[in-house]
Structure 1
Amino acid sequence: MKASLLNYPFELVAPMAALGSVLLLPLGPLLIPRTYICFLLVYFTVFLYTQVSHLFKFYITATKMKKNIRAWNQRSVTEEEEGDKINNVNVNKNSTRERITSTDQDLEDMETSLKLYDDSHFIHAFIVPNYAEPEALLRDTIKRIANHKNAQTNYVIILAMEAAELNHEAKANSLTEYFKDSFLHFIVTAHPADIPGEARGKGSNVSFAARHGCAQMIQHGIDRRRVVITVSDSDSSIPELYVKEVEKSFTQAEDPYFLLFAPPIFFSRNCFDVPAAVRMTDITWSAMVMSSLSNSRGLAFPCSTYSLSMVLAERVGYWDTDADAVGEDMHMMLKCFFKTDGLARCCPIFVPINLTNVQSDGYFSSMNARFVQAKRHYNGVADLAYTLRNAFGVKDTIDAGHVFASKKTSIYAAPNFWLDKLVISIKVMEAHLIPVTSGWLMFAAVPLMQFILFPPSSFSAFVQPEDNPILTSEFYSNLWNVVRVITVLLPFPLFGTLAVYEVLHRVVDRELYHKSHTRTWRNMFDYISLPVAAWAFLTIPSTIASIKRLYKTNNEYIVAEKFFDEE
């Protein structure tokens, strides 16, 4: 009980930040103008610094993504050429003995190199959680995985259904029949809706599917050390290059059983069928995810789709299922980090996962669907209290998941664990407090303070001239001028990010997905919708989610609507 009381203040950080941002707009200039000017200077300076840093990190991520894509394409061309050479050798094998002797060695070398590429030591288990998703969308998502070279020998699909969905059995049986010969195993799980203590959502579904799917794989004789679990969304288009890069990183890592493998997210499947504001929201969302991946300490967060070993999942007790774990992707990284005393790290995989924009049957209904999705996403603000509580709070009990099978994890912690806890806490605060504060302060702080301190008419004066620090103090007058200059500079890092993204989007569409249609100069008009997108899908939903932390409620299990026409 005492520990719970000591931890409770961490629950107030998010709602206080949300309420404080709104209240400061009118009350700051009226009650504490001097302090408010200093606060705005510090806030805007820190914000500008972080945005410039994110721009450089995003550029690094984009460069590595393009490099990986082009190397993959070059390797594919080389393999085709080698295959042609092998075929030519077989056609001409009745030539002279001298030629047979020389080409047989070339044939053996080429076959060996191709075999190393085709064969895989790993078993990849793809968890596809879904609830009320179109069957055509699920079929298309799984079909893209089935097209990988090693799907029949090394891939396991775990179709994570929700028992509460009407006719989920029929959908699962239809997909099982369709893919019965496409994978090593096709496992179907149905997550019950009435498990005590669980909050309904992707996290609880994934946890149920992972536990039961892993148990079935072990029953089939699969070594848990070979299993890499990939959690996806129902609309995740996972290219084969991603799987190969995960295997490469896993093989080269010093201790791969403490890694979560995180790719960038990309929205290109139906991006031209949705409103510009929806499109721009997802573009900026994916850019933020990409920039976070280029982190030298490995303290980053996966989003939507990611991979980890079965060994690590078992060590930390699989996925959490309570209401504080609603943001299952970030929460799983945080859980692994704290449960391994800072040994767990995020390993970036610079291969984009293509997702579907939220889409409904009309312009305004699509906007509303994106707003509903944004509110659900920002419920992940619960991770802020979870992070602060585990980093600086008092633990109520010792979690059973903290007991590991490995001696290394039970004896040693990361050498800079306290520093890492501070860094990861700052990153989580940035992820959740910037959205809930920046919209109010960036758009309204300076204009509203200008209006309050310098009203257009003396009859509407809120502050007497002698109480106006900008008029009575040269120091505060200079600070105020600096604040105004910084606010002019604030959008420029975003403009730079979008410029880098435009080039990246074309490369990914044309060179990885081989699309004939991609973004053009006409899409520059999308940027006009940025203010609407920022307020409707960032500031307001994050503020609602933060204030709701004052009275935790059980949210209804709602998924974002997606249209999908199966060709």
Structure 2
Amino acid sequence: MWSIFIWVTRRAPGLAMVFVIALAYYVITREAAASGFTLSRAEGESLSRPDRTAYTTPTSYRGGGIWTFIFAYYCLTIHLLVSAFPLRSMWAVFDISRCLERTASSKALKDYKMAHKRRGSFTSLSSSETLTSSKELPSPSSTASSESGDTETEYLGDTENGLDRIIHAIVIPNYKEEMDTLRETLDVLASHPLARDTYDVYLAMESREQNGDVKAMTIIQEFAKRFRSIDFTMHPSDIPGEASGKGSNMAWAGRKLSEKYPLSIRKDVIVTGIDADSHLSSNYFALLTNMHITNPDTATTTLYAAPIIFDRNAHEVPAIVRVADILWGAAGMSGLYRGSTIAPPTSVYSLPLQLVDRVGGWDCDSEAIGEDLHMYLKCFFALNGNLTVKTIHSPVSQSNVKGDGGEGVRRVYNDMTARYKQALRHMWGALDVGFGMRKFVELWQERKHTTRAFRPLHLALQHPNDSYIKNHLDADPEQPLESGIYSEVITETIKGPDWQRTFLLGHRLFEAHFLPLQMTIFVITSTLYMTVTDGGSDPHNVDWIFQICKVLRTVGLIECAFLLFLYERYHKIGATTREKEMQEAGLAKGMCFSHRSLKTNFVDYFVFPLVAPIYGSIPSAQAQVMHFFTHDLVYTVSKKVTRQRAKSFIAEVLS
């Protein structure tokens, strides 16, 4: 029975797609037959509507029966959800923009970063097989919890004494990335005031990449003195059950870095996973450090997410690709407004190492291709829905994907194709719906268990079948574990299940992986329904529903246009702040900056209606159909914007 349930959950979005199509087909064909609608005509006759008076009395009109009601009201529900989603996104973009303005102008935040004087840094030059132990840091001191929230940077406390105890383990998964892309990302990180004293950088390499170790060592030699430490790991390519991708790469790096930090400091080690082309502002880690220090009660159960911004090469890609990335970024921001309790991250996120220990690290199978959402789900259910989420109001700069070049129409086609492949990878993450459903069942089964124990990640992997801890807790959760081999076990008490948050999470999963395709299906089928029943007496009394749906579709388009308008302010703040910071760090020369204006980007407001079907519904349908046959997607690396500073420098030397 459980195996059948697993099969169903892994294909839940696809099964829902089949159900909706079958429901629509049944209702439309029955209604068409009952109303006398036909498309056939005799030769030479003009096509005309039949006399439907014989089919309009309640006793003679049968149609789809109760299934017509189900079809109509479910169609209305989908339209309401789709029209509500842009409203939440608009509020999130507006709220985040307002917070970014306060953060950018905060003198307290600038003083906070500059107060951390550069001291002697601990650096290492080592391979994945010889990870060195970090220097011992002072034990954490008790600090008062801040009531100011995520964005009240003007209330930053005097936390300089706690700065040195926080270690930022920054993992950069990469596979066949260009050296210049990695160098630029590391240059940006190395320019931060906290880099030399608190940043441990890990280049998560793949053994599938030829000479990947040589590539890593070359970069390490260049940056060894610019961080607290810099290291690399080599993810093997022959581990059974693993799927290639960011998730498996992060999982291997997580296991290796876990060995480096003793139990005494793990709760103050914060792991941040970033893409190879992600540019993070120094504000990101300054705000992250402050939130961790000033909220000790939730420090080890908090996941930090940040909005993303495509401000590098947006002016170089077609408008439809640019708008697709804007709307995707806005969708990711829809849960990051202040007060939100459900905030899945997009690409870049941070979490304490002790939380990584609690959930057993990152998953490596094909279901974990959406690594960011998947890890969020693991953390959410491991804490019975009581995961604390905080937004770091410092946009993460990203690049729009590009194709293989070309000129004119060919370049546009290549860029659009590259973006479609990325969209398919995003929609392949619908497998997380099944993962969430199974985790919900486990949550219900263990709803009375509020005491759980875990080991540090690297030790837990050495004892994968150790049932002693669970049996001990089931017998007497209040009695401490034995010393000796169990001395590294951490036992914590967590709250009971938060069912309201769990329901909201279910709504967000439905919104992400059901709505795009089902909305398109209902747009088509509701139009067909109205066509075949036009002129009838509406015996089911559902015509008003489809009239409302037409209005909601129009309202939804207006909302998306207004969302683009609100994004203009967000993009301006983020792009301007990043460029200013890069100029102050001496990195701006040759670096790509993409600014927006209505004058140059007016075409975006005309192409956005095409984004939903091309980069939402179609790849979603393809992914859901393919899930009936396979869960494995060949992971390909998207082409990133190339670094221009090196080229500019070479040009100057040759001139």
Instruction: Say whether the fold is shared (TM-score over 0.5).
Output: yes
Q: Are 2:136 and 1:137 equivalent residues in the alignment?
A: no
Does the aligned pair in 1 maintain the 2:78–2:518 contact within 8 Å? no
Does the aligned pair in 1 maintain the 2:248–2:364 contact within 8 Å? yes
User: Quick one: percent identity of the two aligned structures?
Assistant: 26
Look up the match of 2:425: 376
SS in 2 for 1:475: coil
User: Match for 1:529 among 598, 607, 623?
Assistant: 607
Look up the match of 1:59: 94
Look up the match of 1:261: 304
Look up the match of 2:3: 4
Structure 1 residue 248: deviation in Å?
A: 1.4
Q: Are 2:282 and 1:240 equivalent residues in the alignment?
A: yes
- In 2, Cα distance between equivalents of 1:271 and 1:139: 21
SS in 2 for 1:125: strand
Aligned in 2, Cα 1:539/1:115: closer, same or farther, shift over 3 Å? closer
RMSD, aligned α-carbons: 3.2
Q: Are 2:654 and 1:557 equivalent residues in the alignment?
A: no
Structure 1 residue 233: deviation in Å?
A: 0.5
Aligned in 2, Cα 1:403/1:75: closer, same or farther, shift over 3 Å? closer
Structure 1 segment 293-304 matched on structure 2, within 5 A: 293-294=336-337, 296=339, 298-304=341-347
Structure 1 residue 49: deviation in Å?
A: 2.9
SS in 2 for 1:299: coil
- In 1, Cα distance between equivalents of 2:72 and 2:446: 44
Which letter does structure 2 place at the counterpart of 1:165? E
Structure 1 residue 212: deviation in Å?
A: 0.6
User: Match for 1:387 among 436, 443, 466?
Assistant: 436
Look up the match of 2:28: 29
Structure 1 residue 78: deviation in Å?
A: 10
Instruction: Tell me the alpha carbon deviations over residues 437-495 of structure 1, each in whole angstroms, 9 at most, x when there is no partner.
Output: 223334x34433344444xxxxxxxxxx6xx4xx3449333333333222222222222
- In 1, Cα distance between equivalents of 2:544 and 2:386: 47
Structure 1 residue 59: deviation in Å?
A: 2.1
Aligned in 2, Cα 1:415/1:213: closer, same or farther, shift over 3 Å? closer
Instruction: Tell me the alpha carbon deviations over residues 481-512 of structure 1, each in whole angstroms, 9 at most, x when there is no partner.
Output: 33322222222222222111111111222234
Could you tell me which runs of 5 or more consecutive residues in structure 2 were left unpaired when the two chains were aligned: 31-63, 118-156, 406-410, 457-476, 479-489, 581-587, 646-655
Look up the match of 2:106: 71
Does the aligned pair in 1 maintain the 2:205–2:233 contact within 8 Å? yes
Structure 1 segment 177-326 matched on structure 2, within 5 A: 177-218=221-262, 223-253=265-295, 254-294=297-337, 296=339, 298-326=341-369
Look up the match of 1:459: none
Aligned in 2, Cα 1:376/1:481: closer, same or farther, shift over 3 Å? closer
Structure 1 residue 118: deviation in Å?
A: 11
Look up the match of 2:373: 330
Structure 1 residue 334: deviation in Å?
A: 0.7
TM-score (norm 2): 0.73
Which letter does structure 2 place at the counterpart of 1:258? T
Structure 1 residue 79: deviation in Å?
A: 8.9
Look up the match of 1:96: none
Q: Are 2:625 and 1:542 equivalent residues in the alignment?
A: no
Does the aligned pair in 2 maintain the 1:436–1:543 contact within 8 Å? yes
Worse-matched range after superposition: 522-531 or 150-159: 522-531
- In 2, Cα distance between equivalents of 1:476 and 1:118: 63
Look up the match of 2:394: 351
Instruction: Tell me the alpha carbon deviations over residues 341-370 of structure 1, each in whole angstroms, 9 at most, x when there is no partner.
Output: 223222111110000110121221111111
SS in 2 for 1:127: strand
Look up the match of 2:571: 505
- In 2, Cα distance between equivalents of 1:395 and 1:44: 31
Look up the match of 2:200: 156
TM-score (norm 1): 0.83
Worse-matched range after superposition: 294-303 or 244-253: 294-303
User: Match for 2:220 among 176, 182, 189?
Assistant: 176
Instruction: Tell me the alpha carbon deviations over residues 149-189 of structure 1, each in whole angstroms, 9 at most, x when there is no partner.
Output: 12112111100001001221232122112112111111111
Instruction: Tell me the alpha carbon deviations over residues 340-399 of structure 1, each in whole angstroms, 9 at most, x when there is no partner.
Output: 22232221111100001101212211111111111111111111011111113699999x
Does the aligned pair in 2 maintain the 1:158–1:209 contact within 8 Å? yes
- In 2, Cα distance between equivalents of 1:75 and 1:257: 23
- In 1, Cα distance between equivalents of 2:177 and 2:444: 39
User: Match for 1:426 among 501, 507, 525?
Assistant: 507
SS in 1 for 2:373: helix
Does the aligned pair in 1 maintain the 2:292–2:299 contact within 8 Å? yes
Look up the match of 1:518: 595
SS in 1 for 2:322: helix
Structure 1 segment 43-54 matched on structure 2, within 5 A: 43-54=78-89
Aligned in 2, Cα 1:63/1:117: closer, same or farther, shift over 3 Å? farther
Look up the match of 1:365: 414
- In 1, Cα distance between equivalents of 2:493 and 2:169: 30
Could you tell me which runs of 5 or more consecutive residues in structure 1 were left unpaired when the two chains were aligned: 84-112, 455-464
Aligned in 2, Cα 1:40/1:114: closer, same or farther, shift over 3 Å? closer
Aligned in 2, Cα 1:397/1:512: closer, same or farther, shift over 3 Å? same
Using CA pairs under 8 Å that are at least 6 residues apart, name the structure with larger relative contact order, 1 or 2.
1
SS in 2 for 1:132: coil
Instruction: Tell me the alpha carbon deviations over residues 223-258 of structure 1, each in whole angstroms, 9 at most, x when there is no partner.
Output: 323211110001110110000111111122222100
Does the aligned pair in 2 maintain the 1:155–1:183 contact within 8 Å? yes
Does the aligned pair in 2 maintain the 1:191–1:208 contact within 8 Å? yes
Look up the match of 1:437: 518
Structure 1 residue 544: deviation in Å?
A: 1.3
Counting helix residues as a fraction of each chain, which structure ranks higher? 1
Look up the match of 1:16: 15
Worse-matched range after superposition: 340-349 or 428-437: 340-349
Instruction: Tell me the alpha carbon deviations over residues 405-464 of structure 1, each in whole angstroms, 9 at most, x when there is no partner.
Output: 69899664434523322221222121111122223334x34433344444xxxxxxxxxx
Does the aligned pair in 2 maintain the 1:122–1:226 contact within 8 Å? yes
Look up the match of 1:460: none
- In 2, Cα distance between equivalents of 1:114 and 1:501: 34
Instruction: Tell me the alpha carbon deviations over residues 288-317 of structure 1, each in whole angstroms, 9 at most, x when there is no partner.
Output: 111211263522101100101111111211
Aligned in 2, Cα 1:297/1:272: closer, same or farther, shift over 3 Å? closer
SS in 1 for 2:175: coil
Paired residue total: 517
Look up the match of 2:498: 417
Which letter does structure 1 place at the counterpart of 2:306? P
Look up the match of 1:98: none
Which letter does structure 2 place at the counterpart of 1:483? C
Does the aligned pair in 1 maintain the 2:92–2:337 contact within 8 Å? yes
SS in 1 for 2:224: coil
Which letter does structure 2 place at the counterpart of 1:307? S
- In 1, Cα distance between equivalents of 2:198 and 2:236: 29
